[in-house]
Amino acid sequence: MEPRAGVSKQDIREQIWDYMESQNLADFPRPVHHRIPNFKGSYLACQNIRDLEVFARTQELKVDPDKPLEGVRLLALQSKKTLLVPTPRLRTGLFNKITPPPGATKDILRKCATSQGVRNYSTPVGLDSKVLVDLVVVGSVAVSEKGWRIGKGEGYADLEYAMMVSMGAVSQGTPVVTIVHDCQVVDIPEALLEDHDLTVDYILTPTRVITTGCERPKPAGIAWSKISCEMLGKMPILRSLRHQEEQAGKDVTLRDGPRSPPGATRSPRDLAPPELGSVPLSSVQIGNLPRDARVSELKRALSALGVAPSRLTWQGPQHGAFLHYRDPAEAQQAIACLQGFRLGANTVRVVLARQQRASDLVGSHTAEPLPDHQPAIAGP
């Protein structure tokens, strides 16, 4: 099965998904559309990894949590290799280390290799952990014999690899393996590839082991210009990496662009407290902040997201704050960036502050601040 000329990545995805379903090649979970497809014979394809010399000498490997890779996760555990699995959607970190209980039976190891095992038998691995990954195993929707790869379209495998590069866990020489059905090996025009797309060195199918000899460079790190502030808001690990790279002097400008130029000065009018009357439509109200949240913590998070306001009105007792921007467009963009934003364990509520009374804004002035709290109205 070969894709038509002049196709897009999404055309190829749809063609693969449709073919696997129509030919009954797909396996649970179904339908396979919008997934890394599981397929009949996936365990057989996974066994082929034992034929790779790189697997034999691997001590630590990262394997995606997709269903068709379950056999590789099991082989890694049976071989007593260190198994790292990405945190789902990168919401709480980058990796989880799968740690079977002492004396685990074959049945327990099988459970550890499943998505349930990832939840029940794993511990998070922090950015400061000295992780050195010898082998990366990813799922694919389509792949070419040249090593070009197409995922399901969300970009997580590409981003995970780029993050591993940024934290020093992998290098250009770290081999990447994908496991697919034979029908998923198709011609992919190189013109469809972008610099942030991950390529593969080995393709394992139920019938073949393909060495791609791919010489196209893998991602050299996070392409911040491809990252939206909304994505940044949902991934604390990404915010931490961005802060580290910013401190190192790298360009970390997001796709949405910065809120204001570095070192921009504000006029006294910008820093003045809100006047009595009402809040303009350039103010954003946030709520559901953690009980122990501090204004300095919130300001750091907003700055990391690139949505630092001109002024911030703190409402600690109400577990909220008002963010005051220069104009409604900035406020609307901040709202978009803060969707799904988490501070601590809480997902923050974000709405446009419509004509709030000034008395509502200053109600927290009488509350005794926490030790590192700043005045209720503060600059970023």
CB contact at 8 A, 282 and 327: yes
pLDDT confidence bin for 253, thresholds 50/70/90: confident
pLDDT confidence bin for 357, thresholds 50/70/90: very low
Instruction: State the Cα–Cα distance between residues 297 and 278, nearest whole angstrom.
Output: 27
At 300-338, the pLDDT tens digits run 888 877 788 999 999 888 889 999 998 887 887 788 778
What per-residue confidence (pLDDT) applies to 95? 84
Instruction: Give the residue, 312 or 89, on which the prediction is more confident.
Output: 312
367 pLDDT more than 70 = no
Instruction: Give the residue, 272 or 295, on which the prediction is more confident.
Output: 295
CB contact at 8 A, 376 and 297: no
What value does the mean pLDDT take over residues 207-230?
91
* Cis preceding-peptide flag for 217 (omega within 30 of 0): no
234 pLDDT more than 80 = no
pLDDT confidence bin for 1, thresholds 50/70/90: low
Tokens of 86: 């990405």
287 phi and psi angles, rounded to 5 deg = -140, 180
Amino acid at 339: Q
Contacts of 349 (CB under 8 A, 6+ apart): 286, 287, 288
**Could you give all domains of the chain from N- to C-terminal order, each with its CATH number?**
9-224 (3.40.50.10420), 274-380 (3.30.70.330)
pLDDT confidence bin for 129, thresholds 50/70/90: confident
Instruction: State the Cα–Cα distance between residues 296 and 373, nearest whole angstrom.
Output: 7
pLDDT confidence bin for 269, thresholds 50/70/90: very low
Instruction: State the Cα–Cα distance between residues 175 and 165, nearest whole angstrom.
Output: 13
- Residue 231: strand, helix, or coil: helix
At 190-201, the pLDDT tens digits run 999 998 899 999
Sign of CA dihedral 35, 38, 43, 46: negative
Opening angle at CA 246, ends 322 and 131, nearest 5: 110
Instruction: State the Cα–Cα distance between residues 326 and 303, nearest whole angstrom.
Output: 16
At 166-179, the pLDDT tens digits run 888 998 899 999 99
Percentage with pLDDT > 90 across the chain: 46
280 pLDDT more than 60 = no
pLDDT confidence bin for 43, thresholds 50/70/90: very high
What per-residue confidence (pLDDT) applies to 271? 35
What per-residue confidence (pLDDT) applies to 273? 41
Instruction: State the Cα–Cα distance between residues 208 and 227, nearest whole angstrom.
Output: 36
Q: How many helices (H) and strands (E) does the chain have?
A: 13, 17
Hey, which bits of the chain come out as E strands? 60-63, 82-86, 95-98, 122-125, 135-138, 142-143, 149-150, 176-179, 202-204, 209-211, 283-287, 311-315, 320-324, 342-343, 346-347, 349-352, 377-378
What value does the mean pLDDT take over residues 291-300?
89
